[in-house]
Structure 1
């Protein structure tokens, strides 16, 4: 399908295109920043053992930012021909002329830019043919459908494969690139008994196909998950401790990342606005951002502005050490650029407390709720107020008793963060946020 030689040749050609357009733009007394993203791959979906989708995709984007007298113009095109790229540049120039002056519109300092990008082993080329992909998803779904008589239907098994080539350059001499791959296998299944139907799913994501969980693991797990949700019960409105399972615990830290992003800080639209160098998590908890994990889902040798990425503590022993900044937000806040244009990289949630297995976490909680799915998005980042629908299981004496649905968990994120008591060792590897299950002290549960 996609051979390594072909991918590397394509990267080289795109890099030459970028070099050529930068040479063209250098004739103007302007500051230029530009990138090319070229992505290609395919998607296969099977439902009830029938092929529903075989989809090939190939997308390209050329984006250019022009800075002129503290004015900025941006333009983009999906046409990577030299003529189109020149016209895109001219459009950006015209936009810049008619834009307002903003003294924070600048390129990153040259000393921050990447020079020799590290090889982070983000590209793993496996020539998985369409027929192989079809067999993979058919087998995954078949294992689920045959798992138990309670399994009655399927939401589909899906295999996704993509390659991305990223080129970046600017008028300060930057011209760098890297390639990455992404594979995923997922399966959604439906179970039924006399009380009704329930659905659940399982999935695996990796940059290396050989490290994906296989059909047997994903098929059985999705079926098992769907069956265990049958015959859910309602509970009374109350306050209870909860455990957020490792497949959803990352969501809390994504809310944290959003609340400390530069744009929300300089717009004064975050409940953590005055929290820099203050305690926001328990003192046994740290967050290390490591963009250089080999093969990591959040690994990058440079950010979206070409700034070299580096390891740093976001939170150290509970203390917030930095905002998440790109060049513009760092200028607005008069702080150092943190190399986070485009968002966060790999976050490792470090537990300096005693380590516990997931089973031990249930025992420690004793009585409460295990939350396995969150619904809706009732988060107000300005106040920190948090309210989301939830699905899970009632736990008593450290043992799961019965499934629960129709509940809402609510509170304030600032309090929720500080009320994290323990993190288990069952780390979810399907995300750039590496976190186990979280035990959170009593939280409001809205039931019946």
Structure 2
């Protein structure tokens, strides 16, 4: 396997040839089935701090990972090396692992008849012609705008611009070979505000397949500064049971936890609080969750899953009821169900929402906590018990009163899902999960 000189769509034929070469080598060494993913990627990133350049980094990586089968025995290996010797050695390593592995009746490739055939063009590759000097200039402009926003912005915790492009090809011995090139560009700013002996830190960012469509650098800096300043004077509140409004960027985490709980791996291991809930009413009847994997240029779009099956639009929750688990070929076999073409995860989850934006939901909440920061990983996936450190803003009479810190919010996720009152129209578009702010009827807020 020789070094690939290009990274964009022009790299696809070379990577496809490498996949074919690796599959042939696996067959020659005695594998009964094989799948392989080959990738090449490169990126530029720069970070500035306190009006000075901190880092400028360029990276380029290439390699492949292989999983092969000897009957029902499975072995995997990967390498960043190139060349025919690397292929032979990596295949041999995976084969040695497979020969010593236990048999697994669920192991193996998806059926050949199920492999994706006509792959849609999703327009995921948009190279950004930006030089290191231009990247530094844009990051410095972002930070300068943050400093100029408010005199209480005294320090910076890093402003970073990154641009990444890559190409990946997956193939298997059941006749599938498919690949795509993609890009990801981002700009983030983290600032620190200080007043009366208190310091508060906050951030803002944007990400896009197209660098030219990133939010204006100055606007990102101003938003980061405004968020940091608004947290000055934060304090805990007495322990109470009140409505809680999760901002859109944090609400994605609620639905990400839900996806984890209905994923085949957690279900067949019996480690999910949503085991055996297919068909149950888990959410209010107005709420739907559906996957839309073929949106052009979206961050989560994909034409095929990690098993080579064609992705397709589908609901997971309809009218509040769970109508589908999230299954790969392997987890589906473990559960006696067909794959949902979700090996590797869900692509572009959409959460149904109303017409009220976050401000309208604050008014509707009346009294409670707007959560804009979460700390720790306090979810017990087996029981659904949820407890996390939080920060945000206290609301009285439908208006924000003061910033809140050093509190814990707690509940059980099954109760939290059922008690969703509304999903806002302020959609988070930077994530694989598109949701607005989420208002939950009541949670325990533990403070002073």
Q: TM-score, normalised by structure 2?
A: 0.97
* Counterpart Cα distance in 2 of 1:195 and 1:364: 35
Determine the structure 2 residue equivalent to 1:386: 386
Equivalences for 1:209-358 in 2 at 5 Å? 209-351=211-353, 354-358=354-358
SS at match of 2:150: coil
Equivalences for 1:180-195 in 2 at 5 Å? 180-195=182-197
Determine the structure 1 residue equivalent to 2:415: 415
* Counterpart Cα distance in 2 of 1:160 and 1:399: 37
Contact 1:195 1:231 in 2 (8 A): no
Q: 1:54 aligns with which of 50, 53, 56?
A: 56
Determine the structure 2 residue equivalent to 1:11: 12
* 2:151 maps to 1:149: yes
Contact 1:21 1:82 in 2 (8 A): no
Determine the structure 2 residue equivalent to 1:138: 140
Q: 1:302: Cα distance to partner? A: 0.8
Aligned length: 443
Contact 1:375 1:388 in 2 (8 A): yes
Contact 1:205 1:212 in 2 (8 A): yes
SS at match of 2:279: coil
Q: 1:5: Cα distance to partner? A: 7.2
* Counterpart Cα distance in 1 of 2:270 and 2:398: 42
Q: What do the CA deviations read for 1:240-293 (whole angstroms, capped 9, x no partner)?
A: 101101111101001001111111100100000021111111110000111111
Contact 2:145 2:219 in 1 (8 A): no
* Counterpart Cα distance in 1 of 2:432 and 2:7: 28
Contact 2:124 2:209 in 1 (8 A): yes
* Counterpart Cα distance in 2 of 1:51 and 1:317: 52
Give structure 1 stretches of 5+ with no counterpart: none
Q: 1:24: Cα distance to partner? A: 2.9
Determine the structure 2 residue equivalent to 1:364: 364
Q: 1:107: Cα distance to partner? A: 0.4
SS at match of 1:247: helix
Q: What do the CA deviations read for 1:397-421 (whole angstroms, capped 9, x no partner)?
A: 1111000101000010000011110
Q: TM-score, normalised by structure 1?
A: 0.97
Q: 1:193: Cα distance to partner? A: 0.7
In structure 2, do the counterparts of structure 1 residues 252 and 6 end up closer, same or farther at CA, with 3 Å as the change threshold?
A: closer
Q: 2:118 aligns with which of 105, 116, 119?
A: 116
* Counterpart Cα distance in 1 of 2:308 and 2:435: 28
SS at match of 2:371: strand
Q: 1:112: Cα distance to partner? A: 2.2
Q: 1:80 aligns with which of 69, 82, 104?
A: 82
Q: What do the CA deviations read for 1:30-63 (whole angstroms, capped 9, x no partner)?
A: 1111111222111100001111111111222311
Q: What do the CA deviations read for 1:185-227 (whole angstroms, capped 9, x no partner)?
A: 0000011111411010000011111221111210110010000
Q: 2:128 aligns with which of 126, 129, 141?
A: 126
In structure 2, do the counterparts of structure 1 residues 65 and 29 end up closer, same or farther at CA, with 3 Å as the change threshold?
A: closer
* Counterpart Cα distance in 2 of 1:185 and 1:159: 4
Q: 1:116: Cα distance to partner? A: 2.8
Determine the structure 2 residue equivalent to 1:22: 23
Equivalences for 1:149-188 in 2 at 5 Å? 149-188=151-190
Contact 2:7 2:42 in 1 (8 A): no
| CA root-mean-square deviation | 1.3
Contact 1:391 1:405 in 2 (8 A): yes
